[in-house]
Structure 1
Amino acid sequence: MAGCEAPTEIADRKCGRKKTYYHLHLEGWTDSYRAQWSRLQEDYPDTAVEIVGSMGYHGLSGQYISREIIETAYAQEGLPLQFYRAHNVSWSNPAKYFDNISAFNATSLKRCNETRLMETKAMEDYLWVTGDWDGVDNTSGKLVGRCFSEHFWFAPSCRADPLACYPYINAGPGYEYEHWMQRSTMFNIPLVIVVAKLWSDFTTLPTQVKSSFYWWQPDPTFLSLDAVRTVFEPFDRAAQGRGILLTGFEATSVDKYASFDLKSLAPTVYELLSAFSLDLNLVNELMTDQMDSGDTPDVVACRWLKANKAISERWLPDPTECYPQFGLYNEKTEEFVEDREDPSRLTCRACNSGFYSSRLKDGSGVTHVCKPCPTGTAQPSAASLNCQPCQKGEYQDLTASKSCKRCDQGTYQDTQGNSQCKECPADTTTLGLGSAALMECGCKAGRINIANESEAVVCTPCEEGLSCPFSSSVQSLKTGQAPLGPDYQPALHPGFHSTMNAPLVVFKCIEEGFCPGGIPEVCRGGRVGQNCAVCPPGALGIST
């Protein structure tokens, strides 16, 4: 979703490319991965995934007890086991509503040395909070939790009589193991903590043994037990930070994610995602329906949508609420329109090339319409927010254009965003198309510019004996250097001569060989003077 080409390659995930492969995700437990989330936002701000809002519920975890046990305890003695204080053996005997450790087969349990009982820091916190030296072991020189019969840890209130403890079944390494050690000790709860050996053991043991167990919601694993979460004091972040783990777990934000480009690629999908919301009870109902019916998730979801249109239709965006880059489109006439006075058959489509998306505020709110690019502009791309002005050397005299035209020969345009080009001065033209400055207008072939470089062009006809290609000037004739190159260099023909003081007054030489042509005042054989007719001193002129 963030454009990472190899998201599972820790060394180099190849993130930061602005190419997304997935565009939305539901039920992201953001708070559980806050460090990773923050790093992604900081390292790749341009492509980072966006939180579009909550799913409508929070993720919960903690100690759960089946509804059957809860109802039995309440029916028999009014004991509300959904509240942690009801588990205090000073006032009641909650263990009588549960099985004891004799109900377990040890092969389905992890040994203590495979669990968080071996985590020294966790056990140090436990000892600091509770002072229960009998619940830990330091004989090896390393503080660990005290293990009983290789698989169990017993709370102080039932340690002397293990059969008086009721089970708390955990998974993995013993998630939040130390939390339950502290709570059972400080609140006098007769708990024995066990950790299922395999995931399959964890998912079956709570259905076979009357017990409490670790679980999280939403999740379908123990839905059949209609389990109830035990309520502790509200989460205390400061206390948890000091290692005091007596309050309940923090409810986790469960969010909806969108890729950075979803809003522009599919704004209606983005709007639907933003509005979509479910509560936890409804999610549990849907998962229960799937478990009971055996239908696929798609079938279950479709069945619910058909039966609850009043809810689902509230999620649907207004089809005429077009986002930037899009505009109102009439599906019947197959044309873009510029208002929604008649909203029937209106939808939103990306604006075509030659158009741009313009904001429109009317009685129904804000939408966007596609408008044609005005003259002097163009837009080659679809789904655009503006039109691009024609560049220098270009023009566009039509609206709704995808591109600009190049100025014709003999014209130029030295500013942007114009619908016409400017004509070159009299007797001048341009070398080709797309001229972008007045200085590109030069005298036509056969004429030569007699003005100074800083003055406006003044063209005059070239006399016999003088070659004047396009853009000829007196300056380039005299220097022999043309700005456009040798093909555009004015020059005297061989056999013709002029002077630097009067370069355009051309004379025909007596002998063609005397005058090589090119720039003015050049003679062969050391000759000098008008028409190269004067021999150098000491030489005798011989006519051939």
Structure 2
Amino acid sequence: MKFGGSLLPVATLRSPVYPSCQEEWALGEMIQQMSFYNMPLAFGTAIDKPNYKSINIANKGMLYAFEPDTTFIAQKPKIVRFPPNNAGEYIQGIYGTAKAGTILGNWYFKDLKAVADRAHILLGNYKLSQDSINVMLGDVVSVGDEDHWAGACRWVKKNKHLRRNWIPDSTTCSQGKGLVDSAGLLVENRSQAIDCKQECVPCLVGSYSAVPGSMACSLCAVGSYGSLKGLSACSVCGNGTISGKLRPTSKAIMVQGEEEWGTRMDASGECLPCGEGLKCDGSGKVMVLKGFYTAADSPGSVFQCFGDSKRCPGGPPGTCAPGRDHETIACISCSSGLSPGDDGACKPCSSGNSAVFSVAIILSILAIACVVISQQLSIFGQLKVNLGSPFSEVLDFFGLLAFNIEWLNVSCVASFSPLQMYATRVFLVLLFFVVACCIHLLYVALRKKFAEGLEISALVKVMGNLMMIFFISVAGAILAPFRCYAHPNGVHTVQEFGGVLCNSEGEHQQMLIVAGIALIMPVSFFAMASYVIIVELPKRMQKADVAFLRTWSFLYYRYRPGAAVISVILLLRNVALVIVPVIPGGATKVLLIILVLCVSILVTSFMLPWRILECNYMEASLLAGMAVLISMGSLFMEDVDVDSVMQVCLALFIDMILLIFGVFVWGFAKYLRAKHRKPFQYSLCHQKSGAGAFARLLKCELIRMNAVKGKVFVDCDDLQDLTKLFGYVGFDTEHLIILGTKDILTRKWCMGEVTTGRLHKVKTVVVALPDYEPPSETLVQEYQVHVPDVTELAAHGISLAAVQETLRWMRELPTIELLGTLDSKLTKAVCKELVVMHVSPGSMGKNGVQLSNEAEDELDEETRLVNRKAQYNGSKVAILVDYKNMEAVATALVLQLMVSPLLISSGGMVPYIMTANEEAMPTVQIIILPGLTVLPIIAEDGFRFPTKDFYDEVLATAGTTSMPGNPSHLAAVIKQVFQEIAVGFNPQGYSASVQDLEVRAKTIAFRLLGGKLRPMSLEDYQPTSPEELEANSLGLILPASKLTGANAQMISESL
């Protein structure tokens, strides 16, 4: 790039400079450079290239140009040079120096020198200055033919002296060639030579040359061999005939009458394949690589030094780190009186090694506070991932919780064989049991009240807690003989006891016998815990067996009520964590452990089993941390089967693709289903206090009808988030039913539902209860005055104007008016009308329907009595309700629907609802019928139990009201009614879900069938005045013990 001409403030702006162009033209850099060096310039740009050239030639100002280029070659522009590039300043956006240059180069064939040496020399001699290039370009411009090749040719003809220096002489030979005469024979004198010639020789055995004319041969690569001379490629070795880490020998050796490549000579003179971990230099010389071990008398049997590989430094066979016993397998043990050091060597025991016991015991006690994560870390340590310091030391410490007592340098205190060490680890937990028993016996012996006994339940709890704490440790220690390493020589050794071969013989066989005996502990504990939690616990809770619950509380006291089964699930998880390290294959182990941890996270997240909520979060976080830790640790694993990992990854990828496809298909199917049939066929919009029980009654009746195929939406059943209410109405509902009550028009959420239904064109109908009045225009105009918080609906996209428009729209909706007293027939008629007319505006011939039970009222007394007798059907349970309160009647009907299926098996116990003209009957029956029981049902939140003032009011109004008996007797009856424990059954409550009502219905059924309800009686009532005594003598109220069947029949008939 160049800037030429005088520094004149020229600005020629013919087209806009866009941001992308600014970056490409480096305007930002040039502006800073102008500022740094006080250059009075203005920027201009030409509309096209001809103008660009003419403007700059005419103005003779500073320009943006390239070289080499012919555009301004005749003007000979000068370059403005800035200080050399400062990369640090450019990173900070400071452009006071020149921009970094870009190297321009051509790629060429790397073996050009060997294939075409003269061309290579020509390119090496070719040098052309910038001035020469400018002269060639100037010649092209002066001639005017724009033929650059012709211009270059003219320049070459004029500069023969330069051309001769470029072209090499035919007798200038490159490396690998010699002088030859006209007959092609090699000569020593240049004067006799006319050319150069290359003489090729074949590559030796064990090497090859893939490129013709190469100056050297390459050795065969790892895993291949060359048995012939002059090869252009090597042959691939067969499986197991050569190490993947060593170069093959270039010499063939006879083995059992056949030639083998890549072999070496062992101590006995037999030719064997060079195994993994060995370096074979030929002539029987064998060197062991670092991290491997072979005995001096059998160098062909290679062991890999798992764990601390520094104990095997490599070298001649039989070499171990200082202080290691070279007679043990893989230098696993230290010599007598020595303990393992940090660098793989063994160091002399000191007094500090003995103190490790006490320190380790204290730290182990502290670690019990986080025993779960500690034992899981011990499982991670069993994977034998080669982690660096200090995390490897952390894992070694937590190995103590798996009873890995070798970390305590026990070799400095006593000498144990592998079998003795294993048995100690397995049965160490019994020491805790013995200590617990001793402490318990000492406590029993020292307390004052010795007669209380041994308290076996307390001892069982202590033993159980110990087993729960150390379950992973005990099971992991027992399975140690099953965790084996595979060495390069095909031999397997026990992971924790590297000197024991996994061959089910000798010491390993004895370990397996000990393991079989010790497995009785965890297996029996798991079986016992499962039986107690799954089988016995539900039975004992029903029987209220407190002693049993206290004895076995160690299994479930940490968890919330109803989540006791999580203890069995966690034990099963621990069993899986212990078994996984036994499975061969490092990648498989990591995959299975992560899978177990992920399942545990899901179980914890969904069940939330812990009694304290924060403990659930901590459990899930710790499990997630463990999964991440193991995932990161897997990067350090050496025992990885690449093919297996690839297959697992491919399977997981396919599963993810199938999952995505399945979710897509499911979502599309759901969309199609919702398009033709939405989840909720009906949605009941109601005001709780005015029609909550009636809404529940309508839902109960609608879902029993065959014509109703979908669900019926009621907020307390189907709504958990209030913000989703309008979404359910607008997108998931086919028909919206408005239960019109006195106050529904002033409830903002109800009006929000109706407005949403109108905006989304949901089919809507109004079921008008007796106190409902359609919205007047005055209410519409002054709606914000009556409902000030209606503006809160704006957050859901519903404006005041939309609500007002909805109020006017409600006047035109189909309306079902309910007249008279509510009963089951009227309810069914309403449901039938809703189904028949499909609640669609304009689908009916008329805009309103009136429904009532007047037909029943018009019947004569005899017909009505027959109908009542059919309804009564000999039932022994009657529901008394205030027929003046529609919500109370709806509650009674819901109660009848829910309780009847529970009592259907008990003859005569299915309840019926008394009609309005029977309202006075129960009060007298309570007084005169023997064995009559009453169960109070609380059906509304505002109900208050009668107080003394209420009874005083009853007695005070006795003279002004008509009562079927003495007021004092009535007050006594009311007192006895409410001495019975009442049951709450409130369908209109905000949290009255169907599940809650079903539980309460079961409670009522239990009270009626199995509960001991106290019979009503006035036997203990003593008249306090002559008037009361006279009333009794008239036969209005008789003691239950003296009431005969004839008297009862007479009184019933008189009623």
Give me the TM-score of the superposition, normalised by structure 2: 0.20
Instruction: Answer 1 or 2: higher relative contact order, Cα 8 Å, separation at least 6.
Output: 1
Counting helix residues as a fraction of each chain, which structure ranks higher? Answer: 2
For normalisation by structure 1, the TM-score amounts to 0.36
**Which structure has the bigger radius of gyration?**
2
